Amino acid sequence: MDSGKATLDEIGQFERPVFAAVIRPHRSLTPKGFRVVMTLVCLTSLIASLPFVILGFWPVVGFFGLDFLGLYIALRVNDRHGRAFEEVILTPVRLLLRKVSYRGESREWSFNPLWTRLNRQEDDEFGLQQLALTSRGQSVVVAHDLSPPERETFAEAFGQALANVKRGI
């Protein structure tokens, strides 16, 4: 007997992700790598400043220290910015884009997948430069932190999933 009401399984089917991705900025320096780099820079600065101290030009040591401090701060800031991420979740009834900054601030956009386009901005020399989700006059850049080849791979996989949702697959 059909009561005309959706069952929990049917509701769950429409909220089950068809496509999900978390996009993080690439970071090549691990915490251990950071310690190794900073140790090597510190030792190099100390060794390079010894002749200046012996010759009586001790203020030069302070400039080596400033270089070390500047590098330390720059690498820490870079590491902190690496905590940002984008999350893309596509279900048959909703497309959710969530961007979280390195400070933990979160912004969310929700689109109807049937009305959403994936716009591509390509450059002949450098490849896929920008991807944007566009729906009803609203446009949001997505996958900004990926390289052009990675962005191309993401665009193909996400575009295919979005097309499948639009066809009802």
Residue with tokens 């979160």: 106
State the pTM of this model: 0.74
Confidence class for position 47, pLDDT limits 50, 70, 90: very high
Percent with pLDDT over 90 in the chain: 65
Please give the Cα distance from 148 to 129 (Å, whole number): 6
- What's the confidence (pLDDT) of residue 16? 86
- What's the confidence (pLDDT) of residue 2? 52
Average pLDDT over residues 124-146: 89
Confidence class for position 10, pLDDT limits 50, 70, 90: low
| Conformation bin of residue 98: beta by default, left when phi > 0, alpha when psi is -120 to 50 | beta
Confidence class for position 15, pLDDT limits 50, 70, 90: confident
pLDDT score of 11 more than 60: no
- What does pLDDT average to over the chain? 88
Query: Can you point out the beta strands (E) in 24-94?
Result: 85-90
Render pLDDT for 74-124 as a digit per residue (tens, 0 to 9).
Answer: 999 988 988 899 999 999 999 999 999 999 999 999 999 999 999 988 887
CA 97 to each of CA 47, 64, 133: distance values in angstroms, whole numbers, following the listed order: 50, 45, 9
- What's the confidence (pLDDT) of residue 127? 80
